[in-house]
Amino acid sequence: MNSMKGYRIGDVTKLLGISADTLRYYEKIGLLPAVNRTASGIRDYLKRDLSRLRFIQRAQKMKFSLKEIAELLKMREDPQHARDEVRLLTRSKLTEIEENLDDLQHLRNELQLLLNLCTASADGCPIIDSIDNAKR
């Protein structure tokens, strides 16, 4: 890491697990605004760039498309002046996330219950039985 200013492309790759090619691509298609350069022309990522990249990563985990992510980034950049379509998209993605959270919570509790059942049992783990039954 450049201790004086920001982060070199290699630092960002290590920190976020995003390849250098992907970082350049994000910049090329505008997901990331033009990254600062040092006097010698080396990309110099700032903390706000990293924050934006983490947002992109999270949105990708939610299977949002790059086009949708670009729209959401506009909202992130300037929520008060975002267009109505961007606001609508943001609301719909929020609903999607909340539905996913409900499903995840249910799944988490189900797995927790099965694991606890496992520890209460002397003759094996019912998770296996449950999975076997589901396959039938």
Partner 1 sequence: MSGVEVVVAPVKVEIFSSPSCDRCRNVLAVLKTVARELGPKHIEWREVNVLDELDYAVELGVLSMPAIAIDGELVFGSHPSAGEFREALESRLKAHDGARRSNE
Do 74 and 86 touch, CB atoms closer than 8 A?
yes
Q: Which lies closer to partner 1 via its Cβ, residue 57 or residue 112?
A: 112
Helix axes 47-61, 66-77, angle to 10 degrees: 140
Element (H, E) at 100: helix 84-120
129 interacts with partner 1 by CB under 8 A: yes
Cα first-last separation, the chain:
54
* Interface with partner 1 in residues 107-126 (CB under 8 A): 109-110, 112-113, 116-117, 120-124, 126
106 interacts with partner 1 by CB under 8 A: yes
Give residues in contact with partner 1 (CB under 8 A).
106, 109-110, 112-113, 116-117, 120-124, 126, 129-130, 133
